[in-house]
Amino acid sequence: MGHGSSRQREQQILQTVERSSSTGVVPLVKMNLESIPPGIVSNGEKIKSMDLSQNKFPCIPPSIKGFTSLKLLKAHDNKTRLLPQEMGDLSKLETLELSHNLLHILPPSFNQLLALKVLDLSHNKLEVFPAEILSLSKLNTLNVSGNSLKSLPSGMEALEALIELNANDNAIVKIDASLGSAPALVTLRLERNQLREDDIPVEILQSSKVSHLQLEGNPIDMKKLQGKAGYDQYLERYTATERKKD
């Protein structure tokens, strides 16, 4: 980075610091940052929205704990490998976007993000569905597409506000029947996994609220799936939802 662009970046950061205390908004996209500028940290309690995307954060810094009013945090495309325990202090956080990073686990404190409604963990390095997510009872949109997940675990019914789950482009071969008991789940995206017709729980077809089940790109025999118990009930829900659009 040249001296001119470096000075321009520093000036931009300074302006952001000056504005942040009054606006509560911090846009720090594509600034080659490896840490949160001290001036922003000192205003932490006033910040409600922060975008740290397209920087170079190998780890979201522990100083994040000071941002106690934060409702929106974007930190995608950072090559981030770790999240600090201090993430759990963001008790007002409603939207968290962490796509296109290198995360393979979440910190135990992640289960304290009880205000979280939207979570995007797509295109990371997750091989196991993080158990911490199962405590997020207000979560309504979850995107874990583009990881290396092999299963969706038991306990999914605890996600009582979940409306949409995107698990496309993983390596999923097993779905626990508890997902069929997630009381608000309507859209379930499972495209391009390794599922066969017998891997789709009857509970999802028969007794769930799922009306959009997307399975394209799996080694599924559709005739066998359509003959499976509960498929007619699923089709009724799907048809009813499509009619509402007309």
pLDDT number for residue 4:
52
pLDDT surpasses 60 at 221: yes
Measured CA to CA, the distance from residue 36 to residue 167 in angstroms comes to: 31
**Inter-residue contact 80 to 101 (CB < 8 Å):** yes
In this prediction, what percent of the chain has a pLDDT beyond 90?
88
pLDDT surpasses 50 at 1: no
Report in angstroms the alpha-carbon separations of 129 from 65, 103, 184.
Answer: 25, 12, 20
Q: What is the pLDDT of residues 105-162, one digit of tens each?
A: 999 999 999 999 999 999 999 999 999 999 999 999 999 999 999 999 999 999 999 9
pLDDT number for residue 101:
98
Q: How many CB atoms lie within 10 A of CB 29?
A: 13
As beta bridge partners, residue 165 has: 142, 188
Measured CA to CA, the distance from residue 237 to residue 186 in angstroms comes to: 10
pLDDT number for residue 6:
73
- Taking alpha carbons only, the member of 231, 233, 230 closest to residue 222 is 231
pLDDT number for residue 18:
83
- Tokens of residue 196, six digits: 């066969």
Q: What is the pLDDT of residues 37-60, one digit of tens each?
A: 998 999 999 999 999 999 999 999
All domains of the chain, ordered by start, with CATH? 25-121 (3.80.10.10), 126-246 (3.80.10.10)
- Taking alpha carbons only, the member of 93, 89, 133 closest to residue 111 is 133
In this prediction, what percent of the chain has a pLDDT beyond 70?
98
pLDDT number for residue 203:
97
- Tokens of residue 188, six digits: 């379930």
154: CB partners within 8 A, 6+ apart: 176, 178
**E-assigned strands of the chain?**
25-27, 49-51, 72-74, 95-97, 118-120, 141-143, 151-152, 164-166, 174-175, 187-189, 212-214
- Coil, strand, or helix at residue 27? strand
Q: What is the pLDDT of residues 153-192, one digit of tens each?
A: 999 999 999 999 999 999 999 999 999 999 999 999 999 9
Q: What is the pLDDT of residues 63-109, one digit of tens each?
A: 999 999 999 999 999 999 999 999 999 999 999 999 999 999 999 99
